[in-house]
Structure 1
Amino acid sequence: MKNSQQGFTYPLTLCILLLFLIFFTMHIEQLLTERKMAVDTTTILKQEYYFLSSVKKVESLYRIQGSMPAKGTFFYVNGTMDYKAESPSGYIQIVDFTLVLYTRKPIAGYGYFDTRSKNLIKWVEAK
């Protein structure tokens, strides 16, 4: 009781409480950062998957039909992929892909197709 009357216990308790709050705040901040990174990673992986599957679908349409479809749309669970084929120059044909996810702004990519082998030879994602 003698220490309590002279004011020793209150500052000690306050320091311990502040120390606990600082560590608690750091852990909360780390948790929020990890959650945001997980959401961003999921979105990026969806974008990559949608681009890859769209390129494969266009490639298979090209092989089956014998000519590149002028334009089209693929619908996915979280967005849509629009594509538009330009006229071929030489043996290379460029296809513009535009992905619109429901939660993000549109993302563009360009696929270069070889008209002889009917395969994708180069991929460029526009920034």
Structure 2
Amino acid sequence: MLKRNNISSIFVLDQDEARTFYTEVLGLEVDQDLDFGPMRWLTVRVPGDPKVIMLEKPGPPSMDEVTAAQVRELVSKGAGGGWLAFDTDDVDGMFARLKDAGVDFTQEIVEQPYGRDFAIRDPFGNNIRIGDVHSDLA
């Protein structure tokens, strides 16, 4: 039986740019940044959270170069299939901070059945929702 999700992965086109966005703009911390030769293992996490997110560049060894080129094209169009959701206890403050940072917003703050949230995209088109989920639903 499965016990928990340890690592999730999203595709990014530039791992250095992704590292900067996820740490300096969103406030995550680097978990690991290792060079494995044909690939770079780059994971980030919300401070204090054991779950990590791999910022994966499409390419070998996980896929051949033809497939990687197709994935890169989809990612560049915002159709990479990846998305993330983060909780915050200050939706308005986070919204204002990200607006000031020039982040690409796809939805302003809205009231949802589960709480208040908004949506942004990372520099590669991955969708991200940030909000305050009602405690009875978290």
TM-score (norm: length of structure 1): 0.29
Q: Which has the higher helix share?
A: 1
Answer 1 or 2: higher relative contact order, Cα 8 Å, separation at least 6. Answer: 2
Larger Rg: 1
